[in-house]
A and B are shown apart, each in its own frame.
Chain A
């Protein structure tokens, strides 16, 4: 079945460090891959999405791409700030489905 795996449960960085979070997915169709961000006390909100393999999604300094060959997709940012501290979820959606499948989330803590 369709699924997404996010293994990094927690990541702690210092300001200006490079961020890289990875997810893997499994599906037999052509997916759109999403990154959602959840700040404390709030619901998740869309950060960016990538509809085509090897294309790049960009938002608020974050970039994401996905690789059909390795069925993986990642989120990266060149220089994180304390305000980026949040939980980041990857999610898998298919063009013929109305449902999103979420990973288990990565809690990012950025120390000053």
Chain B
């Protein structure tokens, strides 16, 4: 069964509206991540978290907020959605290993269209 689940899987939002993307993991990993995927850009890191109550900015945090209320849940919040935020968003979980850094396990993605 899927260890990282995202909801909603598909969402159409209006410009200026609020969007919340949710992620739940059953891997018991400390770290969770939000990436967006756009053609030609690969996967770009938006926010990540080391554990409940922590959020950190990634490479492209502008226009996004994150919330980690528990070990299992990590949300990405678009307070004022814009068409440039139309993308596929991936949540991932992982744990740091001394010898090899971090291996990430991804959800199946949330496709967001902002009109």
Q: What residues of chain A have their CB less than 8 Å away from a CB belonging to chain B?
A: 6, 9, 31-32, 34, 41-46, 49, 51, 89, 93-95, 97-105
19 new A-B contacts, CB < 8 A, other than A93-B102, A104-B42, are A42-B108, A44-B43, A44-B104, A44-B106, A46-B103, A46-B105, A51-B99, A51-B100, A89-B43, A93-B101, A95-B98, A95-B99, A97-B102, A99-B48, A100-B101, A100-B104, A103-B42, A104-B40, A105-B42
Please report the total number of B residues contacting A with Cβ < 8 Å.
29
Say whether B42 contacts A98, CB under 8 Å.
no
Measured CB to CB, the nearest residue on chain B to A97 is: B101
Say whether B90 contacts A44, CB under 8 Å.
yes
Say whether A102 contacts B103, CB under 8 Å.
no
Q: What residues of chain B have their CB less than 8 Å away from a CB belonging to chain A?
A: 4, 31, 33, 35, 40-45, 48, 50, 58, 90, 92, 94, 96, 98-109
